[in-house]
A and B are shown apart, each in its own frame.
Chain A
Amino acid sequence: MELLKLNETPVRTSRNFNINNIKLENISIPQEINNFNNMQVYGDESKVIIDNQNTKLNLTYGLGDFFTNQVSNNANKKIKIVIDKKLNKEIEIDFKFDKENNDLIDNIEIVAEEQAKGTVILKYVTEKNIQAFHNGVIRLLAKKNSKVNIIVANLMNESSNNFMSIENKVEDESKVNYTIVDFGGKNSITNYFSDLEGELSDNKLSTIYLGKDNQLFDLNYIGELRGKKSNIDIEVQGALKDNAKKHFKGTIDFKKGCKKATGNENEACMLLSDTAKSLALPMLLCSEEDVEGNHSSSAGKVGEKELFYIMSRGFELKEAMKLMVRAKFNKILDNIKNEDLKNEILDSIDKILD
Chain B
Amino acid sequence: MAATPLQEDVTLLPETIARTLGLDAYGFAGQILAALIGAFIVGNVMLAMTGVAGPWAKRKITAAFTDRIAVNRVGPFGLLIIVADAVRLLSKELIVPENVDRPAWDLAPLVVAGSALLGFAVIPMGNGIHLADPEVGLAYVFATASLASVGLVMAGYASNNKYSLLGGLRAVAQNVAYEIPLVVTGVSVVIFAGSLRMGEIVAVQRETLVVLAGVPIPSWFAIVNPFAFVLFVVANLAEVGRNPFDTPEAPTEIVAGYQTEYSSVYFVLFYLGEFVHIFLGGAIIATLFLGGPAGPVLPGFVWFVIKIWAVFLFTQWARSAMPRVRIDQLMEIGWKGLLVLSFANLVLTAIIVGVIA
**A complexed with B:** no
Q: A-contacting residues of B (Cβ < 8 Å)? A: none
Q: B-contacting residues of A (Cβ < 8 Å)? A: none
